[in-house]
């Protein structure tokens, strides 16, 4: 088993000013005491509005990542909207320190790509884009740029925080991502992923935490709401469409 870079996150509940205020009123935060991470892959899943991205952002910022994403070295700000949740959590880290890391956010990946262009335009060598495959991320489709980052920039021996990576990936690319996750795990990496995709959450050596109004529950893939809905639809799409469109 891999050695965890990040073992758990604890919410300092006694310091929270009010659980009726944002972001503490979000279901995942309102019910959070301590969340333990798998040394290889941990998934955060659930419906929109549960607080997955907010918690993921707070963890990433506490680890030293830029709130909008990128590696540890990124320090740009397009629009400061991140919450102050990071001031109310405590990270329990492992003995080993990661040599690499990346915080990938679907919603702000364009800003990361733009910052790379700006830094490379300012001169200096080697070019930052070389570690992303060598081709401008803006000259690729959103999905191609995403996958190029997974493939080239994630170097192993690192911690990788991914927020809804499926947003830009076809089902085939999502399956390819499982292979890439396995490669990174074998290179002593730890991944924490917020996703709605049953394909992406299928990596077997992992924890899946499903978030709901009732709190946080660990689930097997087949027990998750996402998997069951997708399975029902694919098993009988005509029946599902009949109910949806009647």
The residue among 191, 17, 203 whose CA lies nearest residue 103 is 191
Mean pLDDT of the chain: 85
62-111 pLDDT, tens digit each: 998 888 777 776 665 555 556 789 999 999 999 999 999 989 876 555 45
Whole-number Å distance between alpha carbons of 224 and 47: 11
Residue 1 domain-assigned (yes or no): no
Task: Indicate if the pLDDT at residue 210 is higher than 90.
Answer: yes
Count of domains forming the chain: 1
Residue 76 domain-assigned (yes or no): yes
pTM greater than 0.85: yes
Query: How does DSSP assign the chain, residue by residue?
Result: -PPPSEEEEEE-GGG-S-TTSTTTTSHHHHT-SEEEPPSSEEEEEESTTSSHHHHHHHHHHHHT--TT-B-TT----SS----SGGGGEEEEE-SS--SEEEEEEGGGHHHHHHHHHHHHHT--SS-GGGGGTSS-GGGS-HHHHHHHIIIII--SSEEEEEE-GGGG--HHHHHHHHHHHHHHHHTT-EEEEE---TTGGG-SSEEEEEEETTEEEE--GGGSHHHHHHHHHHH-HHHHHHHHH-
- In which residue are the tokens 């709401």 written? 225
Q: Per DSSP, what are the bridge partners of residue 212?
A: 215
Range of the domain at 228: 6-245
pLDDT at 70: 75
Whole-number Å distance between alpha carbons of 139 and 145: 8
Task: Indicate if the pLDDT at residue 154 is higher than 70.
Answer: yes
- In this structure, the strands spanning 41-46 and 206-212 are parallel
The residue among 223, 219, 196, 175 whose CA lies nearest residue 45 is 196
pLDDT at 89: 96
pLDDT at 129: 63
33-73 pLDDT, tens digit each: 999 999 999 999 999 889 898 999 999 999 988 887 777 76
- The phi and psi torsions of 123 (rounded to 5 degrees) equal 95, 180
122-152 pLDDT, tens digit each: 666 666 665 566 565 565 666 677 777 788 7
Task: Indicate if the pLDDT at residue 215 is higher than 60.
Answer: yes
Q: Which two tokens stand for residue 29?
A: 């935060």
160-205 pLDDT, tens digit each: 999 988 887 899 999 999 999 999 999 999 999 999 999 999 999 9
Q: Give Cα 186 to chain centroid, integer Å.
A: 19
Q: What is the CATH number of the domain that holds 65?
A: 3.40.50.300
Task: Indicate if the pLDDT at residue 113 is higher than 70.
Answer: no
pLDDT at 13: 95
Q: Per DSSP, what are the bridge partners of residue 100?
A: 158
């Amino acid at each position: 088993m891999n050695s965890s870079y990040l073992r758990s996150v604890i919410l300092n509940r006694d310091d929270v000013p009010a659980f009726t205020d944002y972001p503490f009123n979000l279901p995942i935060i309102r019910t959070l005491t301590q969340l333990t991470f798998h040394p290889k892959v941990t998934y955060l899943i659930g419906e929109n509005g549960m607080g997955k991205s907010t918690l993921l952002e707070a963890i990433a910022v506490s680890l030293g990542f830029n709130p909008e994403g990128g590696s540890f070295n990124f320090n740009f700000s397009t629009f400061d909207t991140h919450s102050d949740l990071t001031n109310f959590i405590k990270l329990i880290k492992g003995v080993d320190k990661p040599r690499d890391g990346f915080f990938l956010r679907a919603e702000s990946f364009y800003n990361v790509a733009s910052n790379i262009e700006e830094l490379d335009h300012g001169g200096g060598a080697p070019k930052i884009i070389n570690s992303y495959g060598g081709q401008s991320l803006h000259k690729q489709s959103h999905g191609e740029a995403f996958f190029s980052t997974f493939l080239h920039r994630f170097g192993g021996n690192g911690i990788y925080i991914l927020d809804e990576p499926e947003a830009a990936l076809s089902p085939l690319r999502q399956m390819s991502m499982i292979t890439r996750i396995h490669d990174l795990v074998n290179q002593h990496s730890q991944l924490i992923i917020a996703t709605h995709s049953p394909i992406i959450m299928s990596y077997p050596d992992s924890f899946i935490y499903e978030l709901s109004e009732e709190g946080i529950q660990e689930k097997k893939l087949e027990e998750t709401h996402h998997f069951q809905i997708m399975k029902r639809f694919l098993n009988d799409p005509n029946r599902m469409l009949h109910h949806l469109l009647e």
